[in-house]
A and B are shown apart, each in its own frame.
Chain A
Amino acid sequence: MNDNYRQAFQEEATELLAELETALLALEQNPGDAELIGRVFRAMHTIKGSGAMFGFDAVAAFTHDVETAYDLIRNGKMAVTQAIIGLTLKACDEIKRLICEEAGALTPESLALSQAFRQLIETCPKEIPKVQAGLFDAAEAAVPSPAGAAPEITYRIRFKPEPGLFATGTNPILLLNELRELGKCSVFANTEDIPFIEEMEPEGCYTSWDVVLTTDRDINAIRDVFIFVEDQCELAIEIIDDGSAPDGSAEYKKLGEILVERGVLEPLELQQMLGCQKRIGTLLMDSGKVSAEHVQAALMEQEHIRDIRQKRQAAEVCGSIRVPAEKLDEMVNMVGELVTVQSRLNQLSNRMGDLVLIQVAEEFERLTSGLRESTMSIRMLPIGATFNRFQRLVRDLSLELGKEIVLKTEGEETELDKTVIEKLNDPLVHLIRNSIDHGIEKPEVRRAKGKSEAGTVLLSAEHSGANVLIRISDDGAGLDAAAIREKAVEKGLIQPEAALSDSEIYQLIFLPGFSTAKTVTNVSGRGVGMDVVKKGIESLQGTIDITSEADRGTTITLKLPLTMAIIDGLLVRIEDTHYIMPLAAIEECVELTRKDVEEAHGKHIASIRGEIVPYIHLRQLFGHLGECPDIEQIVTARIDGGRIGFVVDQVIGQHQTVIKSISRMYNHIEYVSGATILGDGSVALILDLPKLVRHAEVKQ
């Protein structure tokens, strides 16, 4: 409320209180003076009323009890005593305090005073007159109260206004609209009472309405809609469905029953009609017992209730259970074991060649993969909650940096494994900070570039096969490839003459110790962020890709596996040892013949369809002894924006890999991220390809 009005009220009330005091002191001398009592009552009444009107709720609440006492006195139900006068004077002081203090609140003393007045009222032989009970009466009804968890009840409302309804300026359409605001509402207008035109009074209302309303508000809320017209209409409100579970079916009463209940058909007539074999509605209309309008209204009711009940049944069915996370982990583990056992069974049955056993094994395989999928889906959570957490971060950062930034999110419903989501938080924070700090320009710079002053950061998630793509895009300045290159040279990270593509240059920002920011800010720019991000994403078996365009912005794409517990792997073999490579990064497999090796003059490079691809000879790297086969296989993968091959003896094929962590004793072997158990019970190590590349580089 406007402060001017509060002030006006404060002045008015102070005057009233002064008058009240004079009246009270005079009343003390003349306890029976009806006029003085009237003055006290009116003053209290005005203070209470205006107080409520101008937002002094504490005043209104406090004065209410005092006013009630004086109403009793005024009506001769209570005598004026010294004690009451004393209390009232104290009450005056209290009201003065409440009005003058900014945000005056009720104190224990004021509550004690109220209590004293209430006791006075209660000792009065007669009940408290209802005069003051309804402080807000009609208008209160129209103010919607917050919807509670009240059950949804369905009402049948028959509203038949008198013809003279329009004469009081009432528009029945508005009443129906108000009903619609209360909940799901079906309205049927009954026009059968409209007389012939020569008998019709043009300003009269002849239509009546049948409404079926499902709402969580109580019946009073419905009555309140009609509060101004209740004496000008026939209004019947009945509960026809109380929200309790229907006995098994969504079916509602039969048409005939509804019509009888509505009083438009006699039960006996219904019995007679039911003897015939046509649809009851048609029969009743044909026979003229019930008008077509009534039948239609009843059918509408049937439809409405059926709808409501079906919805409720659906709601009851899709409940949820909370389960501790470790139980799920345990279950995922056991499913993992099951998958392992299943592949052993497959191998075994194939070797034995027993058709019946093969059939069972295949059935088992189908069930296992179904079980695996549904178990994995239990652990999936939508990423939306994580996204929303960044709204605050963006708001705070943009304030701190004096930039206007809007964070938009897309694909919040995309589901990811719980562990992945948890580990994703920190990298995302770094990336968003970076976009805001380095990407989005200051408002004045943006204006000069002809962009809107407010920058946008878009956070989106989408599924892509067995992966989820998370993108952080900004519409900022874009990455400056030349500056990055210069910096990298300066820091000695690359050779000045190195020929690098833009995407390779962008990858440089993920190197440890790299930062192009001219000043170090609180937000980012110490060059510790991005390499941490890369490590974080790689630990999730994910990859990072950057695209950027000057003055158009930068997009960072994170490609993450859906789940961490089971991955799609490529099973390869060197000698008798099996290895798994995560399939996500792998591009293709090609043969490497002895001839190819000779042509490369001892260098570890191969020409794949004209493109020169360096490779790592895993047999050498892992120190496998024995003869190299004549034809080896190169598995090529895209790592850090470049293409690199891994040479193995044989590529066996795709393998559903249940990841088992390996003992801490082997923690120092960074390029092995875990192990898995193969169908024959042997162990295969899971290779971490980016780390493997780094390891090989160091070794050279």
Chain B
Amino acid sequence: MSKVIMTVDDSASVRQMVVFTLRDAGYEVVEAVDGQDALAKAANQPLNMVITDLNMPNLDGIGLIKGLRANPAFKFIPIIMLTTESQADKKQEGKAAGATGWIVKPFKPEQLVAVVKKVLG
């Protein structure tokens, strides 16, 4: 069975790109528009990995990571955050909240797949 990855981003174009790239690489992808949406969808959906943006309305990436880690089902799954270069401190904050790693925007499809393979095996 293919692994399920959730992409959380308020930008539709980034989501579209992530979805396209990962489906192409053989993963199943679930979309969520922000942290709140993601937590709601995660409640009734098994996930193997989450890729989340940090700046989002309603509930941001850091909040989402904390929320996911509090749920035993998602305590050990890899969570990758999408950051921009200027968010070095955010990166630290995300790490502290339990993020596995990060991808610096902008990124190319093959870089995304490489990171997913790295943390998901």
Binding site for B on A (CB under 8 A): 1-2, 5, 8-9, 12, 48-55, 60, 131-132, 134-140, 142-143, 166-171, 173-174, 177-178, 203, 227-228, 231
Contact = CB atoms under 8 A, between A and B. Distances in A.
Given A134-B104, A168-B98, 12 more contacts: A5-B20, A60-B106, A131-B86, A137-B104, A139-B107, A139-B115, A142-B111, A142-B118, A171-B121, A174-B118, A228-B102, A228-B118
B43 interface: no
B109 A53 contact: yes
A166 B106 CA distance: 28
A52 B16 contact: no
B79 A132 contact: no
Interface in B24-77: 69, 75-77
B42 to A, nearest CB: 14
Contact of B111 (A48, A132, A136, A231): A136
Contacts of A138: 101-104, 115
B100 to A, nearest CB: 4
Contact of A139 (B76, B98, B112, B121): B112
A134 B102 CA distance: 14
Contact of A169 (B98, B112, B117): B98
Contacts of B108: 52-53, 55, 136, 139
B76 A48 contact: no
Interface range on chain B: under 10, 10 to 19, 20 to 34, or 35 or more? 35 or more
B100 A168 contact: yes
Q: Which 7 A-B pairs have the closest CB atoms?
A: A49-B106, A139-B111, A228-B101, A142-B114, A169-B100, A137-B104, A169-B78
B2 interface: no
B3 interface: no
Interface of B: 13, 16-17, 20, 69, 75-79, 85-86, 95, 98-112, 114-115, 117-121
Given A8-B13, A12-B13, A170-B100, A134 B114 contact: no
A140 B115 CA distance: 9
Contact of A1 (B109, B115, B121): B109
B92 to A, nearest CB: 8
A87 to B, nearest CB: 24
B119 A169 contact: yes
B20 A169 contact: no
B96 to A, nearest CB: 9
Nearest to B105: A49
A174 B119 contact: yes
Given A49-B106, A138-B103, A167 B98 contact: yes
Contacts of A174: 118-121
Contacts of B120: 174
A142 B104 CA distance: 13
Contacts of A169: 76-79, 98-100, 119
A409 B117 CA distance: 36
Contacts of B102: 138, 228
Contacts of A231: 95
A290 B109 CA distance: 49
A674 to B, nearest CB: 62
